[in-house]
Amino acid sequence: MPGWLCCPGFFPVTNPIGIFDSGLGGLTVYRALQKLLPHESLVYLGDTARVPYGTKSAPTVTEYSIENTEFLLERAAKIVVVACNTASAYAVPQLQAQFDVPIQGVLNPGAAHAATVTRNGHVGVIGTSGTIASDAYAQALRQINPDLQVTSQSCPLFVPLVEEGWLDRPETVSIAQTYLTPLLEAEVDTIILGCTHYPLLRAVIQQVVGESVTLIDSATATAEVVKDMLGRGGMLPPISANRDAGREHPAPTDHEFWVTDAPERFQRVGEIFLGHSLDNVRKV
Ligand code: DGL
What is the pLDDT, as a whole number, of residue 2?
A: 57
pLDDT-derived band at 273 (thresholds 50, 70, 90) equals confident
3-state secondary structure 244-263: HHCCCCCCCCCEEEEECCCH
Which residues neighbour 46 within 8 Å (Cβ) at sequence distance 6 or greater? Answer: 20, 21, 22, 23, 24, 26, 257, 258, 259, 260, 266
Average pLDDT over residues 184-190: 98
Contact, 205 vs 177, CB < 8 A?
no
What is the pLDDT, as a whole number, of residue 4?
A: 52
Contact, 221 vs 112, CB < 8 A?
yes
195 among known catalytic residues = yes
Residue identifier of the C-alpha nearest atom 2 of ligand 1: 84
58-74 and 85-98 are packed helices; what angle lies between their axes, rounded to 10 degrees?
60
Question: What element of type H or E holds 191?
Answer: strand 190-194
pLDDT-derived band at 269 (thresholds 50, 70, 90) equals confident
Residues of the chain with CATH 3.40.50.1860: 3-105+220-283, 108-218
Q: How far apart are CA 89 and CA 84, in angstroms?
A: 9
Q: Is the CB of 106 under 6 A from ligand 1?
A: no
Q: pLDDT tens digits for 33-86? A: 999 999 999 999 999 999 999 999 999 999 999 999 999 999 999 999 999 999
Checking if the pLDDT of 158 tops 70, the result is yes
Contact, 177 vs 195, CB < 8 A?
no
84 among known catalytic residues = yes
What is the pLDDT, as a whole number, of residue 125?
A: 98
Q: How far is the CA of 209 from the centre of ligand 1 (A)?
A: 22
What is the topology classification, in CATH, of domain 3-105+220-283? Rossmann fold (3.40.50)
What is the topology classification, in CATH, of domain 108-218? Rossmann fold (3.40.50)
Q: Is the CB of 85 under 6 A from ligand 1?
A: yes
Residue 19, SS3? strand
What is the pLDDT, as a whole number, of residue 3?
A: 52
Average pLDDT over residues 96-125: 97
